[in-house]
Amino acid sequence: MASNEVEEAVKRINSHKGVMGVLVVNYDGVPIKTSMEAAETVQHAALITHFTQKAKGVIKQLDPDNEVTFLRVRSKKHEILIAPDENYILVVLQNPGSAFVNE
Amino acid sequence: MASNEVEEAVKRINSHKGVMGVLVVNYDGVPIKTSMEAAETVQHAALITHFTQKAKGVIKQLDPDNEVTFLRVRSKKHEILIAPDENYILVVLQNPGSAFVNE
Helix (H, G, I), strand (E, B) or coil at B95: coil
Q: State pLDDT tens for residues B67-83.
A: 999 999 999 999 999 99
SS (H, E, C) chain A: CCHHHHHHHHHHHHCCCCEEEEEEEECCCCEEEECCCHHHHHHHHHHHHHHHHHHHHHHHHHCCCCCEEEEEEEECCCEEEEEECCCEEEEEEECCCCCCCCC
Q: What is the CA radius of gyration of chain B?
A: 14
Tens digit of each residue's pLDDT (9 = 90 or more) over A68-88: 999 999 999 999 999 999 999
Q: Which CATH architecture has domain B1-94?
A: 2-Layer Sandwich (3.30)
Is the pLDDT reported for residue A95 higher than 70?
Answer: yes
Interchain CB contact of A74 with B (< 8 Å): yes
CA B90/CA A50 separation, integer angstroms: 24
Pick the more confident residue, A71 or A17. A71
Contact in structure between B87 and B70 (CB atoms under 8 Å): no
CA B73 to chain centre: 10
User: Is the confidence at residue B103, as pLDDT, over 60?
Assistant: no
Helices (H), chain B: 3-14, 38-62
Segment B88-99 mean pLDDT: 86
Q: What pLDDT sits at residue B7?
A: 83
pTM as predicted: 0.89
Contacts of B77 in chain A (CB under 8 A): 63, 65-66
Q: Report which residue type is found at B18.
A: G
Mean pLDDT of B93-99: 78
pLDDT at B102 over 60: no
How many Å apart are CA B44 and CA A58, to the nearest integer?
9
Q: What angle do CA B53, A103, B8 make, to 5 degrees?
A: 60
Task: Report whether B92 contacts B80 (CB < 8 A).
Answer: yes
Q: Is A45 on the interface with B (CB under 8 A)?
A: no
- Cβ <8 Å between A66 and B74: no
pLDDT in tens, B14-66: 888 899 999 999 999 999 999 999 999 999 999 999 999 999 999 999 999 99
Q: Please, which pLDDT band fits residue A100 given cuts at 50, 70 and 90?
A: low
How close, in Å, is residue B7 to chain A by CA atoms?
Answer: 25
